Amino acid sequence: MKSVRVEDAIGMILCHDITKIVPGEFKGRAFKKGHIIKEEDVKELLSIGKEHIYVWEAKEGTLHENDAAIRLKDLVCGAGLEFGEIKEGKINFIAKKDGLLKIDKEELLKINMLGDIIVSTIHNNTPVKKGEIVGATRVIPLVIDEEKIIEAEKTVKKGIINIEDIKGKKVFMITTGSEVYHGRIKDAFGPAVKKKLEYYGCELVNQTILPDDKDKIVAEIKRALKEGAEMIVCTGGMSVDPDDVTPTAIKECGAELVSYGAPVLPGAMFLLSYYGDIPILGLPGCVMYSKRTVFDLVLPRVLADEKLTMRDLALYGHGGLCLDCKVCTFPHCSFGKGE
């Protein structure tokens, strides 16, 4: 490419997009890469502060920003994504479906360490909706050495950004608490949990209310497993009080305990276990009354068939404090995003 006076550029090919900004009114593309400059364009170009422009002058071994972005797109874009129009060397990646956003953070760091290339995303493990922009890529210079793109293609694993399906499951809920069982107070867990389950397409097959009786809880968990539960949610009885026996019952039903306790507030007394591949969750009382809790962080990942580990839960410590904002913007906030 070469720089020429706009008055001398008539008939030449513009080699980059030109942005026009009208403060408070408009910011967008005034001229598109590849546009052939006409006499009537000169006045408009001068009005937006362009006395000189770059016109295309091909040079072997270099790529225009838009051509480089096309190759980066193939490197970054994984399953469940589509991409928008290339503008000024930038491509947005857009969710083709509802799902759970997964970012390969190691590969993301690797590509951003190369220099002259950037990839930006929203946070890993964010539930996203169809049509939502989840990431973008561009090259920094207007013209980049092709070797830089080749290096990226050789060293970075394809599919940095993906969207996994969140699959609705058949859920059995076991609510414990002698005060609820005997009718002394009304169950508040059921409506709160059901609402969150149904948001992700789950079917609440059955809710059983039991007293704080370990053997009855164990028997009910086994019955739910026998009847085809794809996930079991136990609510109530999760504290360290002597009457709270739900954690013990979950352990004794034969489930493999991942963790009793999570570095998340609200939700510290959360329990996660698996009976084979079937998740069994123990939900603390905060799920009844707090807008967002550990349940909101874990549920979409469990429904995406991700088998969580102690490390996965431990990573929530950084960012695991919900600020209980008056206007909740979850999942587009800091809660649960530190890992």
**Each residue of 245-283: pLDDT tens digit?**
999 999 999 999 999 999 999 999 999 999 999 999 999
pLDDT at 87 (0 to 100): 79
Phi-psi region of 56 (alpha: psi -120 to 50; beta: other; left: phi over 0): beta
Element (DSSP H or E) covering residue 221:
helix 214-226
Compute the distance between CA of residue 265 and CA of residue 286 in angstroms, rounded to an integer.
9
Residues with pLDDT less than 50, the chain? none
pLDDT at 251 (0 to 100): 93
Distances (CA, A) of 134 to 92, 122, 200, 272: 8, 6, 19, 29
Kindly report the three-state secondary structure assignment for every residue of the chain: CEEEEHHHCCCCEECCCEEEEECCCEEEEEECCCCECCCCHHHHHHHCCCCEEEECCCCCCEEEHHHHHHHHHHHHECCCEEECCCECCEEEEEECCCEEEEECHHHHHHHHCCCCEEEEECCCCCEECCCCEEEEEEECCCEEEHHHHHHHHHHCCCCCEEEECCCCCEEEEEEECHHHHCCCCCCCHHHHHHHHHHHCCCEEEEEEEECCCHHHHHHHHHHHHHCCCCEEEEECCCCCCCCCCHHHHHHHCCCEEEEECCCCECCCCCEEEEECCEEEEEECCHHHHCCCCHHHHHHHHHHCCCCCCHHHHHHHHCCCECCCCCCCCCCCCCCCCCC
Is residue 279 a contact partner of residue 234, using CB atoms and an 8 Å limit? no
Which domains are seen in the chain, by residue range?
2-55 (3.90.105.10), 62-164 (3.90.1170.30), 170-317 (3.40.980.10)
SS3 (DSSP) at 158: coil
Instruction: Tell me which amino acid residue 324 is.
Output: D
pLDDT at 242 (0 to 100): 65
Say what the pTM is: 0.85
Pairing of strands 161-164, 99-103: antiparallel
Other C-beta atoms lying within 10 Å of the C-beta of residue 115: 9
Question: pLDDT tens digit string along 110-165?
Answer: 999 999 999 999 999 999 999 999 999 999 987 899 999 999 999 999 999 999 99
Compute the distance between CA of residue 7 and CA of residue 188 in angstroms, rounded to an integer.
73
Peptide bond into 266 cis (omega under 30): yes
Which one-letter DSSP state was computed for residue 154? H
Element (DSSP H or E) covering residue 159:
none
pLDDT at 173 (0 to 100): 98
